[in-house]
């Protein structure tokens, strides 16, 4: 490939990144939506940006359904409709929603799916750690806490949240 073609390709990629940057920055308050599917045929940058913007809007709507309205059943349907439930961010929120509905077995499946997609997804380690605390598995929750410390440090909100839950005596009514 000629130097000119490489430079042109680099410029095009930078342009796409700059167009998509505002969408990525405001995708969700606590966790970014998963990246666009790179396995599909490449589309024009305009179509890709529009597609990602639509996905980000739908992701934010599901996020609000969970955290603002506490309508976990609807959120599960919204998240599954995104077609990206194999990504860590989406799978984690599905797991969280099932946990809030009290379906711990299904919730566990989704948390593990999220960690398979991204073993360093801190929010999943936090939520799965809280799941462990709720199930009385304090040693496992401590392991999750150590994973959070290794990934994001002990000053992160995720670390503090799980550490606070572990400081409470077993059997304490936990609400997360």
Among all chains, which residue has been given the structure tokens 């670390």?
A: 159
Other beta carbons less than 10 A from residue 144's beta carbon: 26
Torsion of CA 106, 110, 115, 118, to 10 degrees: 180
Buried-state track 33-51, b at ≥16 Cβ within 10 A, e below 16: bbebeeeeeeeeeeebbee
Q: 82: burial class by Cβ within 10 Å (0-12, 13-18, 19+)?
A: buried
Q: Which two tokens stand for residue 158?
A: 């995720």
Helices and strands per DSSP (H, E), number in the chain: 8, 0
Give the per-residue pLDDT at 21: 44
End-to-end CA distance of the chain: 54
What pLDDT shows up at residue 27?
Answer: 34
Q: Looking at 5-62, which runs of residues are DSSP E strands?
A: none
pLDDT string in tens for the chain (176-residue length): 566 656 655 655 555 555 544 433 333 345 556 555 555 555 556 677 778 888 899 999 999 999 999 999 999 999 999 999 889 999 999 999 999 999 999 999 999 999 999 999 999 999 999 999 999 999 999 999 999 999 999 999 999 999 999 999 887 655 55
Residue-level pLDDT at 90: 97
102: alpha, beta or left? (left if phi > 0; alpha if psi -120 to 50): left
Helix residue spans in 43-156 (DSSP H): 45-67, 72-81, 88-100, 104-117, 122-134, 138-152
Give the number of C-alpha atoms closer than 13 A to the C-alpha of residue 69, restricted to the C-beta side: 11
Question: What pTM does this model have?
Answer: 0.74
């Amino acid at each position: 490939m000629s130097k000119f073609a490489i430079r042109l390709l680099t410029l095009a990629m930078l342009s796409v990144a700059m167009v998509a940057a505002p969408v990525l920055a405001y995708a969700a308050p606590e966790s970014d939506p998963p990246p666009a599917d790179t396995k599909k045929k490449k589309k024009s940058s305009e179509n890709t940006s529009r597609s990602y913007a639509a996905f980000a809007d739908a992701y934010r709507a599901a996020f609000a359904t969970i955290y603002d309205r506490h309508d976990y059943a609807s959120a599960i349907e919204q998240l599954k409709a995104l077609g990206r439930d194999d990504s860590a961010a989406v799978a984690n929120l599905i797991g969280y929603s099932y946990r809030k509905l009290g379906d711990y077995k299904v919730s566990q499946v989704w948390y593990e799916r999220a960690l398979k997609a991204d073993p360093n997804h801190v929010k999943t380690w936090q939520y799965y750690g809280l799941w462990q605390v709720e199930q009385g598995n304090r040693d496992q929750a401590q392991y999750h806490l150590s994973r959070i410390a290794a990934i994001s440090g002990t000053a992160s909100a995720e670390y503090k949240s799980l550490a606070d839950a572990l400081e409470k005596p077993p059997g304490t009514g936990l609400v997360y």
